[in-house]
Chain A
């Protein structure tokens, strides 16, 4: 079901208000990389489990482009389970009976955190394209402000896949002293030309939609849902492997026995992508999509170290576990290996495993026992090393 745009916007606001949020940047604003100061901004987040008395069991989960802060349990807007429900929960791999998990909706997101669809307090109008261009580092700085607000000095772990992994790398580079362990999954230390190219197709699809209105669709009472759906369809292909797509759909036809000699969704794969596109626009803001993909494109951790990635990690004491998936062609293993080589060259403590999987980039969200075994081993080993023995919640 696609809601009319105005109704959808209202729904988004109402639902996000139901979640947890902090107003940050009240005393000192957040200085964005583009030079703009962001003051009194809202950061929506969810927590799972309880913080122990030593405040040593906090894990920051960083979500990917289309994710949000609802990692487990029922999502208040979609009614579906959280995006990492398989991994996060009581007795699960990231056990909420042991760890205190925090996940923020990223800066520029559309699930309650300040972003282009929110009101600009300076003009009392919707930000739209007046929202400053944000970066991965800005997202991480905002998360660090939230940790200050929650009075958590040091994270036991920062973990995330895809763009979440970029945030993890940025965390390690910017706040190494606040991080015991870092787990960047299916990610890269920079966006490649191919990554940027796919993002650009998505952005162009949105901006080519006449309902986009130069980014002012909320004021115009429209929603560029067709453009956003196409962006999602293109991106979704990059999240799957050729093999998984072939196995899942092949050339099978959708609810018909023969081709129709027309442009209806004859093939199952077409129908599937259309469904992916249309459900996405129900929960995602088109301008947010522009801003977040831009942040990913701008990400290049080596850039501020004269192109030497290793310099971003010099003298770091954080323990790393870098994980890639064999069939991921969006952030292929070679990108993870690049990170590992940089960490090796400063003698950082790093584990690295490439998981054999046909599930492509999305493997980190799916049932992958091999991945889970490696992650569980790393987490347990690190918990032992960092003396995380008192895992009983404070209350």
Chain B
């Protein structure tokens, strides 16, 4: 059994075996590789960095160099069972269009992002008066690739506006070990460092 990062493992757990998966921002391909071998999926990836792409293709993964903002438009509707966007939404130019594209291409989308409502982020801003830096957001304000932060509450609201239903939601503490889900999710916006959603477009 392959071992992958906990947040990637949680995403993998949401994917049905044997399904078609597109991983947008697949990095070095560790999630795709896991899904391919442990879940027998038909997996593809898009990655911005050429180093990442070359690493992926070199290990036999079907990955292209591309950008979530510009390269999702080519894909036909419902081409995949799942489209995954892991820790990338906050770095896109137009997160709303990206989200819409994810749910156009995929029957379902799995989206994870750092929660800007996390208490340490709030504390940094209110107590220190400085742009927050945490373990998961290590950049300075002037060199961060993350240009569109949101809180869990913001994201849920956007999904509502776009007619996207949330099938699963969970939030991770900074240790990555504890989860808020189900009824406990109401604490997530304050206590969760990362959020993860399984989304489906409303058919109505």
Q: What are 22 sample pairs from A and B whose C-beta atoms fall under 8 A apart? A: A321-B57, A340-B64, A341-B71, A342-B74, A345-B76, A346-B76, A347-B76, A347-B79, A350-B44, A352-B64, A353-B50, A353-B53, A353-B65, A374-B57, A374-B58, A376-B58, A377-B57, A377-B58, A377-B59, A380-B60, A381-B61, A384-B60
Q: B58 near A373 (CB under 8 angstroms)?
A: yes
Residues of B contacting A353 in the complex (Cβ-Cβ under 8 angstroms): 50, 53-54, 57, 65
Closest 7 CB pairs of A and B: A381-B60, A377-B58, A352-B64, A347-B79, A344-B74, A345-B74, A351-B57
Q: Is B63 among interface residues, defined by CB-CB distance under 8 A? A: yes
Residue on B nearest A381 in the bound complex, by CB: B60
Contacts A345-B74, A381-B62, A382-B60 aside, 9 further interface pairs with beta carbons under 8 A come to A322-B64, A340-B66, A341-B71, A344-B64, A351-B62, A352-B65, A353-B54, A378-B57, A385-B60
B76 CB → nearest A CB, Å: 6
B37-56 with Cβ < 8 A to chain A: 42, 44, 50, 53-54, 56
Partner of B60, one of A344, A345, A350, A378: A378
- B75 in the interface (beta carbon within 8 A): yes
Q: Which A residues, 334 to 379, have Cβ-Cβ distances below 8 Å to chain B?
A: 340-342, 344-347, 349-356, 370, 373-374, 376-378
Residues of B within 8 A of A350 (CB): 44, 62, 64
A190 in the interface, Cβ–Cβ < 8 Å? no
Q: How distant is A37 from chain B, measured CB to nearest CB, in Å?
A: 39
Is there an interface contact between A344 and B57, defined as CB atoms closer than 8 Å?
no
Chain A contact-residue range equals 20 to 34
A341–B74 CB distance below 8 A:
yes
- Cβ of A226 within 8 Å of any chain B Cβ, yes or no, is no
**What residues on A are CB-neighbors of B64 within 8 Å?**
322, 340, 344, 350-352
- Nearest Cβ distance between residue A352 and chain B, in whole angstroms? 4
Contacts of A380 in B (CB 8 A): 60
Please, which residue of chain B has its CB at the minimum distance from the CB of A377?
B58
Asked whether, in the complex, the Cβ of B44 is within 8 Å of the Cβ of A349, the reply is yes
Report the bound CA distance from A342 to B66 in whole Å. Answer: 14
Q: For residue A352, which residue of chain B has the nearest CB?
A: B64
- Contacts A344-B71, A344-B74, A347-B79: A373 and B54 contacting too (C-beta < 8 A)? yes
User: Of residues A321, A341, A350, which shows the largest number of chain B Cβ atoms within 10 Å of its Cβ?
Assistant: A341
Closest to A379 in B: B60
* Chain B contact residues, CB within 8 Å of chain A: 42, 44, 50, 53-54, 56-66, 71, 74-76, 79-80
Closest CB in chain B relative to A82 CB, distance in Å:
25
Question: In the bound complex, do residue A381 and residue B53 qualify as a contact, i.e. CB atoms below 8 Å apart?
Answer: no
Asked if residues A349 and B62 are in contact (CB atoms below 8 Å), the reply is yes
Write the chain B residue with the least CB distance to A356.
Answer: B50
One of B53, B60, B76 near A352 (C-beta < 8 A): B53
Q: What 0/1 readout, one digit per residue, does chain A (312-323) give for beta carbons within 8 Å of chain B?
A: 000000010110
Q: Tell me the complex Cα distance, A352–B74, Å.
A: 15
Q: What residues on A are CB-neighbors of B75 within 8 Å?
A: 344-345, 347
Cα(A241)–Cα(B60), bound, Å: 30
Contact partners of A321 in chain B: CB under 8 A: 57
| Contact partners of B56 in chain A: CB under 8 A | 351
Find chain B residues with CB under 8 A from A374 CB.
Answer: 54, 57-58
A341 to B50, CA, bound (A): 17
Q: A341-B74, A344-B75, A347-B76 are in contact. Are A319 and B62 (CB under 8 A)?
A: yes
Q: Chain A 94-132, CB within 8 Å of chain B: the 1/0 string?
A: 000000000000000000000000000000000000000
Question: Distance (Å) between the CB of B75 and the closest chain A CB?
Answer: 5
Within 8 A of B (CB), among A287-334: 319, 321-322
